[in-house]
Structure 1
Amino acid sequence: MMEQVIKDVREFGEKTGIINKRVLVLYSGGIDSSVTLYVLKKAGFKVSALTFFHKWSWPEVLRWGMKFTKSLNVEHYLIDITDALLRRAVGRKGPICIHCKKVMLENAKWFALNNNFSYLAKGDNANDKIIGTLLDQCPGDIRLCEIPKIGIPIFRPLVKYKADFIQKLADEAKIKPYRMYEHGRRRQWREGCPLQYIDEEERITPELMDLAFRVNYEVSKIARKRKVRISVRVPSFEVMCWDCNDEVIEEVRKALASMGT
Structure 2
Amino acid sequence: MIEDAIEDVRRFSEENGLHEMQILLLFSGGKDSSLALYLLKEAGLNVSALTFFHRWSWRETLNWAMGFTRRLGVEHFLVDITDGLLREAVGRKGPVCINCKRVMLWNAKWFALNGGFDIIAKGDNANDKIIGALLDQCKGDIRLCGLPKIGVPIFRPLIMYTAEEVEGLAREAGIKPYRMYEHARRRQWREGCPLQYIDEDERVTPELMDLAYRVNYEVSRLARRRKVRMSVRVPSFEIICWNCDDETLREAEEIVSRFKGGGE
**Shorter-chain TM-score: what band?**
over 0.9
**Corresponding residue for residue 192 of structure 1:** 192
Query: Are 1:239 and 2:230 an aligned pair?
Result: no
Counterpart residue identity of residue 129, structure 1: K
1:167-182 equivalences in 2 (<5 Å): 167-182=167-182
**Corresponding residue for residue 229 of structure 1:** 229
- Contact preservation (8 Å) 2:61, 2:192: no
- Contact preservation (8 Å) 2:185, 2:197: no
**Corresponding residue for residue 53 of structure 2:** 53
Gapped runs of 5+ residues in structure 2?
none
**Corresponding residue for residue 220 of structure 1:** 220
Three-state SS of the structure 2 residue aligned to 1:77 is strand
Query: Are 1:14 and 2:37 an aligned pair?
Result: no
**Corresponding residue for residue 70 of structure 1:** 70
Q: What is the RMSD of the two structures over their aligned residues, measured on CA atoms?
A: 0.8
Three-state SS of the structure 1 residue aligned to 2:50 is strand
Question: For 1:63 and 1:56, how far apart are their aligned partners in 2?
Answer: 14
The structural deviation recorded for 1:235 is 0.2
| CA deviations over 1:40-85 (Å, ceiling 9, x no partner) | 0000010000000000000000000000000000000000000111
Three-state SS of the structure 1 residue aligned to 2:203 is coil
Counterpart residue identity of residue 155, structure 1: F
The structural deviation recorded for 1:186 is 2.9
**Corresponding residue for residue 155 of structure 1:** 155
Q: TM-score, normalised by structure 1?
A: 0.98
| CA deviations over 1:222-247 (Å, ceiling 9, x no partner) | 10000000000000001100111221
Three-state SS of the structure 1 residue aligned to 2:139 is coil
Three-state SS of the structure 1 residue aligned to 2:149 is helix
Three-state SS of the structure 2 residue aligned to 1:150 is coil
**Corresponding residue for residue 82 of structure 2:** 82
Question: For 2:188 and 2:121, how far apart are their aligned partners in 1?
Answer: 22
1:119-134 equivalences in 2 (<5 Å): 119-134=119-134
Q: TM-score, normalised by structure 2?
A: 0.97
Query: Are 1:32 and 2:32 an aligned pair?
Result: yes
Counterpart residue identity of residue 242, structure 2: W
The structural deviation recorded for 1:192 is 2.2
- Give the fraction of aligned pairs with identical amino acids, expressed as a percent: 67
Question: For 2:43 and 2:244, how far apart are their aligned partners in 1?
Answer: 41
Three-state SS of the structure 2 residue aligned to 1:78 is strand
The structural deviation recorded for 1:94 is 1.0
Question: For 2:137 and 2:259, how far apart are their aligned partners in 1?
Answer: 47
**Corresponding residue for residue 114 of structure 1:** 114
| CA deviations over 1:7-65 (Å, ceiling 9, x no partner) | 01110000001121000000000000000000000000100000000000000000000
The structural deviation recorded for 1:121 is 0.3
Gapped runs of 5+ residues in structure 1?
none
Three-state SS of the structure 2 residue aligned to 1:254 is helix
**Corresponding residue for residue 144 of structure 2:** 144
**Corresponding residue for residue 102 of structure 1:** 102
Question: For 1:76 and 1:94, how far apart are their aligned partners in 2?
Answer: 30
The structural deviation recorded for 1:188 is 2.7
The structural deviation recorded for 1:259 is 3.6
Tell me how many residue pairs correspond in the alignment: 261
Counterpart residue identity of residue 85, structure 2: L
**Corresponding residue for residue 23 of structure 1:** 23
The structural deviation recorded for 1:152 is 0.8
